[in-house]
Structure 1
Amino acid sequence: MTKTDALLIKEVSVLALPIALAAILDFLLSKDTLLVIWVIAIEFGLYLLQWYRVLLTSEERPPIQQSLRFVLTPLARHFASTHENARREAVELSAEVGRLKIRATNRKNKMATLVRDFRDSLSALPDAIIALDRNNRIEWWNKAAGDLVGLSSSVDQGKRIEVFFPSAEFREYIVQDDLNDPIEIRAPVSPEKLLSIRITPYGDNQRLFRAEDVTLVKQLESVRQDFVANASHELRTPLTVVLGYLETLIDQKVSNPEQVRNAMEQMYQQTTRIKGIVEDMLTLAHLERGETAPKEKVDIGDLASRICSEAISLSGEKEHAISANVDPGYFLIWNPEEIHSLFSNLVVNAVKYTPPGGEITLDWTGSSNGAWFSVRDTGIGIERSHISRLTERFYRVDVARSRESGGTGLGLAIVKHVLGRMGGDLEITSEPGVGSCFICHFPAELVERRSAQENRPPCHNPVIMSR
């Protein structure tokens, strides 16, 4: 570029500024918008001419920013700066929108995860959980609700909960304002199950239906009530006898020494019975607490001999034919008192319920699978319908006969609990008028032996009692 060209460009640039300023003033004074447009067009043309001259005469093309700073007039630079600021703000705004979208997506995913985890936790609950809308229509339920109420996939979604509980009792309950107290209703799928239902309001007029299976709780409560009633009755009967004799003696209505002796004997028998009931109840409580008792080697041969002697003494005038068949050399590794209680209760029951002159046989056999102890008698026998309940506390097949025999009603319950602690099983076979057979199986790890025989007691068609 020659000095002349540079001077020409400088002059043209200098002239461009007054022209632009004059156009602006003319616009403000005369409001001639068309003239301003023409002036701006001339200004832009001069800018192109200056840019073209620089490009033709420069050996190295200058950067666009440097060229613009050289040739742009103040007005053009203002327009360029405004455009650049607007572009920069648009980029920043777009970036901010992108960040907000990412943040919203993350929050949405987090909320979905929380909802999914919450529903998974509800599905793991054993209680039936059902979400209801304001019209008691089903929106969601967990797995337990499907099992207890009978809901299936999406077929039942949207149905009213009253469809599954059509009883008038439930319909009256669900329209109440105060739902703090639960209601107990039979399960629609399994009528033998009892459900405790509670409905809790939440959210926007929504309701949470919860049903708990309380069948076992009610059964245990019934057993507890029966136990208290039976225990009270069992203790009250002998106490009444003792109280009667004491009142007679206090009033001095008995003067005959023989009558006094008879009264003393009766009171002794009744207090002995009370003592037996209390001791058996304490034994059961000890067994149910699962307290660890010291274990020893119990010689089965010696134990069977002692039990037979006790049975003969108890039999007395009944003159039962009592015998024992015991494989020699066997030991049970357990608490001696619990083992003696187990064997003794089975034999005592046989003596009590076998008519005079009947036969009672004790058998002990062992094998590689453990050992078996059985007590067989030719007693009155038991109906099959009663066998499953024989190990319940104070359960009586014949109440009058049981009280005549002087039993506490806890013997077989103790046998069951001892075997349960040992990991054994109780099998019962009985036929009315023929007799009964009680077999105890002991696991091999509790049996120590010096010889083994693969024989079992000859009892057939056993009823297996659960541990």
Structure 2
Amino acid sequence: MHRELRRELWMALAITGGVAALAAVAGYPLAGVAAGLGLVAALSLRKLARLHRWLVRGRRAPIPELGGLWDEVIREIHRQDRDSERHKERLTGLFDRLQAAASVMPDAMVVLARHDVIEWANPPAERLLGLRIERDTGARIVHLIRDPAFGAYLAAGDYREPLILKGPVEPMAVTLQIIPFGANERLVMARDITHVKRLEDMRQHFVADVSHELRTPLTVLHGFLETFADLFEGQDGEVRSGIALMREQVERMRRLVDDLLALSRLETTPARAHDDVVDMGALLKGLADIATVLGADRGQRIEVENCGADLVGNVDELRSAFTNLVQNAVRHTPAGGSIRLVWRADASEGRFVVIDSGEGIAERHIPFLTQRFYRVDSDRSRASGGTGLGLAIVAKVLLRHDARLAVESVLGRGSTFTCVFPSSRLKFPPDPSRAPPPTV
């Protein structure tokens, strides 16, 4: 390349020098230099015009022979063009293979461009989401999947948890998740979970039926043990301790059955369409009374803080969830410890907080606390009378109230359980300063 460039320069100088020499002989030295430079420029422009025509023709016409450095430039352009074409063919082949692989997947895949417009979808999207690929490509997906839950899920932007929807054909159930990528693009993935949902429904109904059937024999056993305790009062310690142990285990079974039934009701019954306004002051007082009674023999301090706002929801479900948190705090707080019940609310959210000075929970256990029958310490939980279902009930109740549970804990320093409610679930007392003036 450098050799060709030097040759071009020498040729230009030679042409200019020759024309200048002829002009000098004729008595016009400056005009000769100008004429030589003009001739060199004209030749260069002619070659440039031929290069331009070749580029405009798509570089598929025969390569022009321009000589010198121009041939080097054309060969380099041609080489890069071939490399680009090969790279484009590889990318096109890879894209075709990816599309073919996505088309044979059992899960639905839909690519959304800006404004949630359907850019591409695979065939299972027709069966699982009710789309028609040829007809619906280019349409907004919210105009085609009209379930309000899907619209809210898409607009919320929080896609950490999947959404379960009814499929286009009953009784199909579909789990759907959105994955953002690129610049304002999203990938919608859906899977048929009808079989899983059917098994889950069977499990829920089985647990509910068995728990319901167990209540009657447990009630009978409890009644007979009460009678035996009265009959054998004053007998030797072994008989009394045996009856006391049986009564304790029957009571534990009754609590377990009650929790199973409560959890089953939360899983199988729809949330109330019209919730009530819950008087948080009265609810906090009731919870404080429960904590005082449960911890009466431990000398625990119970503190209550109330912001004055109320909560919109199912009072029975909320009382059950909050009571479970309070009972856990009492069970795992030692004698002389403290328990705080706090209700705070502002324009953005409401928080019901239970703070204890108990033994705390190791960080590795916190993500699993709301799983059924999960126990941090089995011996400790049984000794304290826990069933392993309390926090699962709390999580279900909060889910039905658009809320979430946050847990913070340090071993040996206590735990903080926070129920976070959205602002739509809050009701504040009227502001007297904004009241209209009295009419005269």
Compute the TM-score of the two structures, normalised by the length of structure 1.
Answer: 0.44
| Higher-Rg member (1/2) | 1
